[in-house]
Structure 1
């Protein structure tokens, strides 16, 4: 388990934290017990206009979208999610080990109960996986999808020939390793991981703090689910147009063309897809290149 490849993969893809920046002028949605699926997430709304749903990544606060939401609320009604067990939203006590799939059902239920009409969905990393699954399993509910620095099968970064079955052993070992870390080891791992996720050094301490405020079992279960979930066979069911925005930096140590090829090959089954690469950025594109990212989102929404 303690191989450099596993640690690098986790540090570069799975511990997707966010900054603790307060969102102002937000209204919290009161989750009713009449809709138990909705208890797997919390929602805050801002602004008015056409609907946009923002989904953060693993162990991320909704505050990752603070700057973007501030701009979007001038012409959109923005729904900013936070998953149960991540950042400031309490973990669910009766989970069956699944994190991603229940949130997909919760978002679908939210769209229906709030009478949203073909909302645009923007998901970062694990949130991108959620957005893809939502588009594939509830194609009539979404208008368009933006997938931010996310793949339909994360284990491809470790093994391009991986399958859900071959990934399960590594996924189980990874989950067990995360749960077995001492508090000191977990803190050190967060710091090392965040250095690979955010190029902007000033935001790193807050990113670490966000991860440490999350429920570790929820994080570990979500990592397992990410590693064994292969959505490539489901991409053909998505009817909404897809925009994939991904990061590249020379510090990745591979040519940009390799990263381009990895994304295009992973999404080859998607019928309506466009790719936008944002350079000089690590995983948290919205923090490392906020202006370019905001421009990409505006272009996506206005197509």
Structure 2
């Protein structure tokens, strides 16, 4: 009997050891660069971008805030990690980073995919962040353009999108990147930098993350957010398809209605990169929110 109990004890210790080894072997998806001093702001870039997308924001605020520039593996770089749920792990790492660093009253600002991640993190851990700013990032973006779509109905199109991204040759990828960026940035001279970021990204990682954006609906979690949220939206890029500012605004409002304290601002002429196309307005409104 004693021998059997001892054997089970050894098995338990071995399993615990293997669990620790596996946890430590899990690839880290985010790295950070810290610039400036003051209240901490965590900056999370969007799809196919790098932290360089925030260069102008850093220039403006490095003397007032401690800026934590997040770089995600595979975005703006060719790195690759074999992870089942890429964005969920990034979200978990953002929360863990904030907690481990013991950041005091941190603000999280994200663009597009980064805004989605910021909202998700604030919903999962309502006590971690002081405020959230999402720049054209919503809880489930596909429904803005395809009413009625669900994570389940999106699965077939996700697989075809992922395959198309991975199998695209360089010339086709460049042409595709130029087309996408021109629909997301109205200011022509701002486009080249973002195109380069996209070309420097890992297509397999981008494809996986894009697919997860289609199959992850966090709208049911929005009522968990306890802190003030500011969301910047855009509509001008869609007016050629029959959209109006009123119809697009309603789409955003439906996505955000469960957040207890939320302010939605929809730009007049900016495309998806609001901080490039309407910079003065963007920074003015952002400062009001931060100082409130």
TM-score (norm 2): 0.87
Give the aligned partner of residue 170 of structure 2.
183
State the Cα deviation string for residues 165-223 of structure 1 (Å, max 9, x = none).
11112222211222222222111111111110111111222221110001110100000
Q: Label 1:38 to 1:147 Cα distance change in 2 as closer, same or farther (>3 A).
A: farther
Query: What's the secondary structure of 1:147's corresponding residue?
Result: strand
Out of 125, 131, 135, the position equivalent to 2:112 is: 125
Offset from partner CA, 1:112-154 (integer Å, 9 cap, x none): 1111023111110000111011011111211111111122112
Distance apart, 1:287 and its partner CA: 1.1
Q: Counterpart in 2 of 1:207?
A: 194
The answer as to whether partners of 1:129 and 1:152 remain within 8 angstroms in 2 is yes
Instruction: Report how far residue 238 of structure 1 moved.
Output: 1.1
Aligned to 2:155: 168
Where in structure 2 are there 5+ consecutive unaligned residues?
A: 1-22
Contact 2:123-2:221 at 8 Å conserved across structures? yes
State how far apart, in whole Å, the 2-side matches of 1:38 and 1:296 are. Answer: 37
Cα contact 2:39–2:105 (8 A) shared by 1: no
Instruction: State whether residues 97 and 221 of structure 1, in contact with CA within 8 Å, keep that contact through their aligned partners in structure 2.
Output: no
Contact in 2 for aligned 1:40/1:92 (Cα 8 Å): no
Per the alignment, in what secondary structure is the counterpart of residue 47 of structure 2?
coil
2:93 to 83, 93, 106: 106
Which structure has the greater CA radius of gyration? 2
Among 233, 249, 253, which residue is 2:236 paired with?
249
Q: Which runs of 4+ in 1 moved over 4 A?
A: 34-38
- CA RMSD, Structure 1 to Structure 2 (Å): 1.8
In the alignment, the residues of structure 2 paired with residue 35 and residue 182 of structure 1 have an alpha-carbon distance, to the nearest angstrom, of 36
CA distance 1:280–1:211, shift in 2 (3 Å)? same
Judged with a 3 Å threshold, the aligned counterparts in structure 2 of structure 1 residues 244 and 69 are, in CA distance, closer, same or farther, namely same
- Larger mean Cα displacement after TM superposition, 113-122 or 241-250: 241-250
Residues 1:60 and 2:49 aligned together: yes
CA 1:77–1:38: 2 relative to 1, 3 Å? farther
Query: Any gaps of 5 or more consecutive residues in structure 1?
Result: 1-33
Residue 87 (structure 1) aligns with: 76
Number of corresponding residues: 268
Aligned partners of 1:250, 1:113: CA distance in 2, in Å? 40
1:15 aligned partner? none
Report SS of the residue matched to 2:212: helix
Asked whether the 8 Å contact 2:183–2:237 carries over to 1, the reply is: no
Deviation at 1:258, TM superposition (A): 0.7
Moved more, 216-225 or 240-249: 240-249
